[in-house]
Amino acid sequence: MTVIFSKKCEYGIQAVLYLAANLDGEIIPADEIARKLNIPKEFVSKILQNLTESGLVYSKKGKSGGFALAKKPSKIRLIDIVAAIDGLDIFNSCVLGFQHCSPDHPCPVHHNWGILRTNAYNMLTEETLDKFREKTLRKVRNI
C-alpha cells in the first residue's frame, strides 16, 4: 500500500536504486530494469525519461541504448528522486487534504503526521544512493 509516494515515484526510486547498484556505470536497457524489478517496460522508460530531464539519469538511444546515472550515487539523494517525480508538496500539505491545515487550525492527525512527515523528509534528504547498493542487490535477487 502506498502511503506517501505515487506508484510512479516508487518505481522511479526502485529503478534509480538499480542503476546505482551497477558499479561499472554501464548503460542498462529499460527492458532489463523492467524485468529485474517486475515493472512494466513502458512505465520504466517513461519514468527514466522524466528523470533524464531532471538531470539525475542519462539516457542513450539506439540498439545499445538504455539508462545510467548522470551523477555519482554519492551525489544523488532519495529526496532528489521524489522531488523530480512527485514534487515536495506532500511535505507541506495536509495528509488528509484539508485546506488551511496548520498548527493553529490542525486536522485530526496534524500533530502525528507532522512528526512522521519530518522524519521521512529528513531520512530522504540525508540518504544518498551509494548507501543502498548491497541492500538493493539483495532485494533484486529476491524479486
pLDDT digits (tens, 9 = 90+) for 70-116: 999 999 999 999 999 999 988 888 888 899 998 899 999 999 988 99
114, three cell numbers: 507532522
The verdict on domain 7-138 having CATH code 2.40.160.20 is: no
**Quick one: pLDDT at residue 1?**
42
How do residues 19-73 score in pLDDT, each as one tens digit?
A: 999 877 789 999 999 999 999 988 999 999 999 999 999 999 988 899 999 999 9
pTM: 0.87
Which among 13, 49, 18 is positioned nearest to 127, based on CA atoms?
Answer: 13
Residues 6+ apart with CB under 8 A from 117: 90, 91, 95
**Quick one: pLDDT at residue 2?**
53
Average of per-residue pLDDT across 125-135: 88
Domains of the chain, by residue range, sit at 7-138
Instruction: State whether residue 69 is helix, strand or coil.
Output: strand
**Cα-based distances in Å from 12 to 2, 81, 100:** 14, 7, 31
pLDDT band at 132 (very low <50, low <70, confident <90, very high): confident
**Quick one: pLDDT at residue 11?**
95
Query: By the 8 A CB rule, do 58 and 67 touch?
Result: yes
